[in-house]
């Protein structure tokens, strides 16, 4: 039997991949949420804007999947010797091959824990629907963090007429490199977002009518509610003591086999593996495209066994905010320089190659899709990169 723990995009794609690969045995999918698999990118975009609801974000499930769905059941332990997963209800589910696709969860800060009313986060469909409803009543929204989720939530809130204050220790969208960061900061300002960069929330008072945040330098911000969006952490706590190697995710070999056990694999946000396209640099990717690609690859790897091929991936992500599409490929955060090949970096619309010691390691674009497509093709043609990125 193949057991998949995690019923989101990576888990679903892995299930479909083993069926497409000819597996006809028992297939079980264990998921913590009660909902069938759904698409997460719209949660901080269309759902907050009221353009999509729970039904519209459900992922299509391939006909003939013939899987046993065990939803609303959280895995709490793994015995890789006995090949059994223990659930919160105390049941044990056996397997011949196990695929870990438990994804990631929001990082939380002391004093800023979500309460479902005044302090929210955006990870599940329930989170997004709750925030969408709250934005209809809000006058000002406080956002802690300025990564992809934080900037997308700011964009949606401004589109709905809500004033926004963002408090962030790091520059906006720092994962996409300093060129994008500068453009994103300018875009936030141009759209009326109050940006408090290089600051943290020292304390947060929750009141019946909202929240009052005090920043580390003494500034106070009163808001109707707060959203905490300070990144994500892989859901691996339940694997402690299992013998698997855990370090910023489930450590895997090049074929996505989990290190420390036999017949255990990982895919999606939770998997950390050496990417051969980047000189074997260990990486864990939290984006939509990676969940699909790794889900497909891990399903094939389970069936191939010792003949499995190394998984190579060119990371990519996109984000729509303030009416502009940001596209990112590769690892632009590693870049020490950018070569702007179209548009102007200071004008907020550009396409640029990300370079490290003169070698292309990625590309970024704001609003210039055709030029970005050319850069993406160039990156693919020049990979793998040298060992200088370690």
Give the whole-angstrom CA distance, residue 79 versus residue 214.
46
Q: Are residues 126 and 224 in the same domain?
A: yes
Could you give the 3-state DSSP secondary structure of residue 99?
Answer: strand
Q: Is 312 domain-assigned? A: no
What CATH number does the domain containing 88 carry?
A: 3.50.50.60
Q: Are residues 59 and 198 in the same domain?
A: no
CA distances from 98 to 54, 102, 129, 234, 301 (A): 29, 12, 33, 17, 12
Q: Are residues 149 and 56 in the same domain?
A: no
Place of tokens 């690609």: 293
Q: Are residues 156 and 207 in the same domain?
A: yes
Task: Decide: 228 and 127 in contact? Cβ < 8 Å.
Answer: no
Q: Which pair of tokens denotes residue 9?
A: 């995009």
Among 198, 230, 262, the domain boundary falls at 230
Task: Decide: 351 and 372 in contact? Cβ < 8 Å.
Answer: yes
Q: Is 315 domain-assigned? A: no
Give me the tens of pLDDT residue by residue for the chain, a chain 390 residues long.
Answer: 999 999 999 999 999 999 999 999 999 999 999 999 999 999 999 999 999 999 999 999 988 899 999 999 999 999 999 999 999 999 999 999 999 999 999 999 999 999 999 999 999 999 999 999 999 999 999 999 999 999 999 999 999 999 999 999 999 999 999 999 999 999 999 999 999 999 999 999 999 999 999 999 999 999 999 999 999 999 999 999 999 999 999 999 999 999 999 999 999 999 999 999 998 999 999 999 999 999 999 999 999 999 999 999 999 999 999 999 999 999 999 999 999 999 987 777 999 999 998 889 999 999 999 999 999 998 888 877 554 454
Q: Are residues 267 and 203 in the same domain?
A: no
- Continuous H helices in 224-368: 288-304
Q: What is the pLDDT of residue 389?
A: 52
Residues 6 or more apart whose CB falls under 8 angstroms from that of 5 comprise: 11, 30, 75, 85, 98, 99, 100, 101, 102
Q: Are residues 125 and 263 in the same domain?
A: no
Q: Is 316 domain-assigned? A: no
Q: Are residues 94 and 153 in the same domain?
A: no
φ, ψ dihedrals at 386, nearest 5°: -75, 170
> Which string of b and e fits 336-359 if b means at least 16 CB within 10 Å?
eebeebebebeebebbbbbbbeee
Q: Are residues 140 and 208 in the same domain?
A: yes
Could you give the 3-state DSSP secondary structure of residue 260?
Answer: coil
Q: Are residues 118 and 225 in the same domain?
A: yes
Q: Is 212 domain-assigned? A: yes
Residues 6 or more apart whose CB falls under 8 angstroms from that of 101 comprise: 4, 5, 6, 8, 10, 11, 14, 266, 267, 268, 270, 295, 298
Q: Is 318 domain-assigned? A: no
**Backbone CA torsion sign across 274, 277, 278, 280:** positive
Q: Is 337 domain-assigned? A: yes
Q: What is the pLDDT of residue 388?
A: 47
Helix (H) or strand (E) segment spanning residue 32: none
Q: Is 340 domain-assigned? A: yes
Q: Are residues 302 and 353 in the same domain?
A: no
Q: Is 389 domain-assigned? A: no
Q: Are residues 140 and 249 in the same domain?
A: no
Domain that holds residue 95: 2-105+233-307
Among 230, 252, 272, the domain boundary falls at 230
Among 274, 307, 340, the domain boundary falls at 307
Tell me how many domains the chain contains.
3
CA distances from 204 to 134, 166, 208, 216, 230 (A): 19, 14, 13, 11, 16
What CATH number does the domain containing 357 carry?
A: 3.30.390.30
Q: What is the pLDDT of residue 380?
A: 84
Q: Are residues 117 and 159 in the same domain?
A: yes
């Amino acid at each position: 039997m193949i057991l998949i723990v995690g019923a989101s995009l990576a888990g679903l794609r892995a299930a479909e991949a083993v069926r497409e690969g000819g597996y006809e045995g028992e297939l079980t999918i264990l998921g913590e949420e009660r909902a069938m698999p759904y698409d997460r990118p719209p949660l901080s975009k269309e759902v907050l804007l009221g353009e999509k609801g729970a039904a519209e974000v459900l992922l299509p499930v391939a006909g003939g999947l013939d899987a046993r769905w065990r939803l609303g059941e959280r895995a709490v332990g793994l015995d890789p010797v006995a090949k059994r997963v223990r659930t919160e209800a105390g049941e044990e589910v056996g397997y011949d091959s196990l695929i870990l696709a438990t994804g990631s969860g929001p990082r939380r800060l002391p004093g800023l824990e979500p309460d479902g009313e005044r302090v929210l986060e955006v990870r599940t469909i329930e989170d997004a629907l709750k925030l969408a409803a709250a934005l209809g009543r809000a006058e000002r929204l406080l956002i802690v963090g300025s990564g992809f989720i934080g900037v997308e939530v700011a964009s949606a809130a401004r589109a709905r007429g809500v004033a926004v204050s963002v408090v962030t220790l790091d520059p906006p969208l720092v994962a996409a490199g300093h060129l994008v960061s500068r453009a994103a900061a300018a875009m936030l300002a141009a759209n009326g977002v109050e940006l408090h960069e290089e600051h943290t929330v020292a304390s947060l008072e929750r009141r019946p009518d909202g929240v009052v945040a005090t920043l580390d330098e003494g500034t106070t911000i009163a808001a109707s509610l707060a959203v905490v969006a300070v990144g994500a952490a892989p859901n691996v706590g339940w694997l402690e003591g299992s013998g698997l190697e855990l370090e910023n995710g489930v450590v895997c070999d090049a074929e996505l086999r989990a290190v420390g056990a036999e017949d255990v694999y990982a895919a999606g946000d939770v998997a950390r593996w050496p990417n051969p396209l980047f000189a074997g640099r260990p990486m864990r990717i939290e984006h939509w495209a990676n969940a699909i690609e790794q889900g497909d690859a891990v399903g094939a790897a389970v069936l191939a066994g010792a003949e499995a091929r190394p998984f190579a991936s060119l990371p990519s992500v996109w984000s729509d905010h303030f009416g502009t599409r940001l596209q990112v490929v590769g690892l632009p955060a590693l870049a020490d320089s950018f070569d702007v090949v179209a548009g102007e970096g200071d004008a907020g619309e550009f396409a640029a190659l990300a370079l490290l010691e003169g070698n292309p390691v990625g590309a970024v674009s704001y609003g210039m899709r055709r030029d970005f497509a050319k850069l993406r093709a160039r990156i693919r043609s020049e990979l793998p990169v040298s060992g200088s990125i370690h």
